[in-house]
Every structure is written in C-alpha cells, then in structure tokens.
Amino acid sequence: MATTREQTQANREAKLDELHERLTGEVENLVSGEDWSRALAFAARFRARSFSNTLLIWGQHQGAYEAGLVPDPMPSYVAGYRQWQGLGRQVQKGQPGYQILAPVTGRFASANPADAASWRRLNKGEKPRAGEVVRSKMVGVRPAYVWDASQTAGDPIPEPPAPKLLEGEAPAGLWDGLVAQVEAAGFAVVRVPHEGMIHGANGMTDYTANTVAVRENMDPAAQVKTLAHELGHVLLQGPDQDEARQHRGIGEVEAESVALMVGAAHGMDTTGYTIPYVSTWAARVDGKEPVEVVKATGERVRKTALTILDQLDTTQVADGTQPGLDRESTRRDQPAQERSAPDRAAGRHVEPLPEHSARPVSVAAAQERGL
C-alpha cells in the first residue's frame, strides 16, 4: 500500500508531466502560428555576414548604444540603405551607418577555361566574345555601410512573440530556497545592478568562476524566475555546454522548462516569458522540429524540477492548477498586433532581455560567443 508521501510524490510527478505536455502544446501553437512564420520569412531576407563583418557591426553598434543613438545594446536586423528601403523602412536622420567590408566581384571571360592565363577581366558592361565562358570572382573588398533596424523607421518588422519579463513580487521564501540549492552545488549567487554586466542577459551561470549572476533591475518575480532557470543550468549542464550550438539550444529549453515548473508550483505564471523563450531556442536546434526538441527534454526537466521542489520548504500550489497553461487563460487568440502595438508605435524595441540573448538575429553567432 502506498504511503501518503509516495502518493504525494506520484501526484506531483503526474502534474509535472501534464504541465510539460501543455508547454509542448503551447510551443507547437506558437511555432505554427502566423506571427512565427512571418518572422522567419522576414529573417530569411537578411543574409549571413562573415565573422569579421559581424564583429565590425557588433563593435560599432556598441558605440552607437553608448552614444545613446540606439535603444538596445545588441544589434538586431542589419541591412544596407537600399535594402531597408526595399523593406519599406527608411534610415533615420543622424544615424551613422556601420562600416563593413563588402566583397567586390569582377567578371572574367575565357575561350579556354582550363588555361588559367587565358582569363581576362571584363569591363563594366562589356560583353564576352563569341565562344567565351564568363565567371564572376571576388577581386577585393570595399567599405559598405549598414544600419540596424532600430536606426530605421517605417513598416513594422515582423517578429515572433518576444519573452515578456515577469512582474510583481516573488513567492515567499523561494529566492532563499533556490540560493541554498545553487550554493549546495558549489556556486555562489551574485547580484549585479544591470544587464550590461552580464552580456545583456537577465542571468548568467559561469562554470569557470562557479558563479550564478542575476541582475537586480527587474521585478522580484523575474529575478526569482531567472534564478530557477540558472539553477536548472547548474544541475543539468556543465562547462562544455556552450561549445555546440546544438547543445546550447537544448540546454536553454531545459533550464527554462525547469523554471516554468518551479514557478508553476508556486502559483507563478511564467508562460509569457517561457513559451517564446523555449520556442526560440528549440527552433535553433538543427535537424529537429521545435516540438520534438521540447518533448525530448521532458524526462530530464521533470526530474530536475522534482529535485528542486523537494528541497524547498516553501508553500507550494497543491491543487494542481498551473497558471497560464490552462486553456482559458492562454492568450494565443489575441492578435499579436494588439499586444505589441504600443511598443511598435514608440518605434523602439522594448522587449525584455532574454536570459541569454535568445534573439533570432543575424548576429546571433557573435552573441553566442558572449561578445
């Protein structure tokens, strides 16, 4: 016969499983929605930049941020003057372009392609002679200028729903309880005044210094959610996590799913943050559909959440209500336009900074290197 404790445990596991199933369903909803596909189609129009150009953009954007010219320390979409015009947006007056190096190509013609010496460069507009083969080749670089989306105005930029920071108070005792577990794992919790100190993120786990940093300039509810996320990293992942993009995506899905479960057990609705965050990272795992990625992490996430919840002496939600993931309270029916209209009208990104800069942008590579 099962003891009360075993029953409680079984109940809890069943609730967490159900919670994970709902999370998976919400991720599916989000990534199959129109906002998501529009944003992907838009992103596909921006070409990948070379690593050196990414660094050039990064450095100059930081300078523009420090000079107060752009609202966000991280560049988002970056394009040339005419490309922005083609997308229905105009570079705003007084915004300096970022200089990058664009390839210069030349056209070469030859009647005998196998003979390297026979190739001659064609002048602009010059036509090849009869029987000649034409090929283009990079012959050098020239300076070119690009602008970040935040330096332009015009047609709205289609974006997938962005994580929304939690507001309000933290559940009593949860912060201290999580700190104790982070410390028991050999990490020190450090509170930093702002995101600028941790690469623009809300929190950061440093496996070299053995620290977990959380920024203080957000509501206590958001801070405690971030701490739960970082504790998820501490318990589930190790220092090699960042090396592979593949693993990074899975690691973020796991850590944030743990945070959702810890939050839900305390009556916190983290879905406005968790669903877009998990979807974005799950979509970055190559070769798998986002929903598959989330599903595959279910077991590890549940185990970790249980371990954390078992060690807390906080008051936890007993009736199995999972705020935010019940059918009535999800807001997926509400048009995204309505939700984000004020932000768009202000002409700037007011989206909260993700835990680890999880924006699907062209400079993502640089962000992942923690630059």
Enumerate binding residues for Zn ion (CB under 5 A): 252, 255, 355-356
Spatial contact of 151 and 136, defined as CB atoms under 8 Å apart: no
Tell me the CA distances in angstroms from 88 to 82, 84, 341, one per residue in order: 10, 6, 18
Alpha helices in 89-210 (DSSP H): 174-184
Spatial contact of 192 and 199, defined as CB atoms under 8 Å apart: no
The bridge status of strand 89-91 relative to strand 98-110 is: unpaired
Alpha-carbon span 293 to 297, nearest angstrom: 7
Q: How far is the CB of 265 from Zn ion (least distance, A)?
A: 20
Alpha helices in 67-173 (DSSP H): 81-86
- Give residue for tokens 């056209």: 107
- 87/283 with CB nearer Zn ion: 283
Spatial contact of 298 and 261, defined as CB atoms under 8 Å apart: no
Q: How far is the CB of 355 from Zn ion (least distance, A)?
A: 4
Q: Coil, strand or helix: which one is 189?
A: strand
Q: Looking at this protein, which amino acid is placed at residue 279?
A: S
- 174/231 with CB nearer Zn ion: 231
Q: How far is the CB of 256 from Zn ion (least distance, A)?
A: 7
Q: How far is the CB of 189 from Zn ion (least distance, A)?
A: 15
- 24/226 with CB nearer Zn ion: 226
- 252/269 with CB nearer Zn ion: 252
Spatial contact of 148 and 102, defined as CB atoms under 8 Å apart: no
Q: How far is Cα of residue 282 from the mean position of the Cα atoms in its chain?
A: 10
- 57/250 with CB nearer Zn ion: 250
Q: How far is the CB of 108 from Zn ion (least distance, A)?
A: 49
Q: Is 77 exposed, middle or buried (0-12, 13-18, 19+ CB in 10 A)?
A: buried
Q: How far is the CB of 283 from Zn ion (least distance, A)?
A: 16
Strand segments, DSSP code E, in the chain are: 78-79, 89-91, 98-110, 120-121, 133-148, 152-154, 188-192, 203-206, 211-215
- 110/237 with CB nearer Zn ion: 237
Q: How far is the CB of 233 from Zn ion (least distance, A)?
A: 5
Q: How far is the CB of 258 from Zn ion (least distance, A)?
A: 10
Residue 266 backbone phi and psi in degrees, to 5: -110, 20
- 96/360 with CB nearer Zn ion: 360
- 208/334 with CB nearer Zn ion: 208
Alpha-carbon span 287 to 281, nearest angstrom: 13
Extract the tokens encoding 180: 């104790």
Q: Give the list of residues 6+ apart from residue 81 with CB closer than 8 angstroms, or none.
A: 91, 97, 145, 147
Q: Coil, strand or helix: which one is 233?
A: helix
Q: How far is the CB of 191 from Zn ion (least distance, A)?
A: 17
- 255/268 with CB nearer Zn ion: 255
